[in-house]
Amino acid sequence: MIKRKNVLKIAIDSPAAAGAGTLAKAISKHYNLFYLDTGKIYRFIAYLRIKHPKKFNYKFIKSKIKLLKIKDLSDNNLLSDEVGTEASIISKIKSIRKMVHSFQINFAYNPPKKYKGSCLDGRDITYNIIPDADFKFYITANIKTRALRRFKELKGLKKKITYQEVLKSIKKRDKSDFNRKISPLKKTKDSLLINTTNLNKRACFLKIKKIIDRKTNN
C-alpha cells in the first residue's frame, strides 16, 4: 500500500449519535483533511443486504466495494434507523470487516493529494485502522442526549420514527457495538475523551482545535 509522507491523521471513535460526525467534518474542513465516515461504509453494505437479500454474498459485496465512490456514501437512504441497525449486525461479520478495512486504510494513509491529511470516525479507528494517528479522540454523550439528537436528525429527514424508538435502537446498537468480539467500540488509553453532552457544536470544535493547535504549533 502506498503511504503518503507527512500526512496528518486524526482518528475518532464514538458510540452512535454522539456528535462525532459533525465534529469530524468541522475539523476536516478547518485543517483541510479528507473526511471519511466509516459507519457509512457499513451502512452501504447493510443497505445492499436490505435491497438485494438474495444476491447478498461475499462476491456480491466485494464487487460493490470495488466500485465504491465517496459520493455513494452521501445517499440519504443510508441514514435511516433500519439501515443503522442492519449495519451493526453485518459489521460483526469478520470477512466484511476485512474487506472494509483495506478501503479505510487506503483513505487514511493515502488521502487525495489536495488534502493535508485525513480524519476518520467509526468504532475501531483509534486501534485498528490508524493506530499511529497523530490525534485520537473518543467522543461520547449520555444516551438520552444522543437519542434526542438522532431523533431530531431523522425528523429533519422526514423519517417516520418516535423518540422512544430511536432510544431503543441506540441502546440495542450500543450493546452490540461495545460487546461484540470483533473490533468492539472502546476508548483506548491514548485517546482523549470529549463528552459532548453539555457542549454545543462550536464549543466541542474549539476544545478539539485547542488540543490540535497546541501540538502542531510547537
* Closer of 112 and 184 to ligand C5P (Cβ): 184
| Contacting range for ligand C5P; rule: CB under 6 A; set: 69-77, 118-126, 131-139, 190-198 | 118-126
**Terminal-to-terminal C-alpha distance of the chain:** 31
Element containing residue 33 per DSSP (H, E)? strand 33-37
Confirm or reject binding of residue 126 to ligand C5P (CB under 6 A): no
Residue among 28, 80, 91, 118 that touches ligand C5P (CB under 6 A): 91
Grid cell of 8 as nine digits? 496528518
Confirm or reject binding of residue 88 to ligand C5P (CB under 6 A): yes
Interactions with ligand C5P, residue window 23-62 (CB under 6 A): 38-39, 42-43
What separation in angstroms does the CA of 14 have from each of 20, 128, 188? 6, 14, 11
* Closer of 37 and 205 to ligand C5P (Cβ): 37
How far apart CA 157 and CA 82 sit, in angstroms, is 14
Confirm or reject binding of residue 149 to ligand C5P (CB under 6 A): no
In a 10 Å sphere around its CB, with 0-12 CB exposed, 13-18 middle and 19+ buried, how is residue 171 labelled?
Answer: middle
Residue among 61, 122, 130, 137 that touches ligand C5P (CB under 6 A): 122
Confirm or reject binding of residue 177 to ligand C5P (CB under 6 A): yes
How far apart CA 38 and CA 73 sit, in angstroms, is 9
Contact residues: ligand C5P, CB under 6 A:
16, 38-39, 42-43, 84, 87-88, 91, 122-125, 173, 177
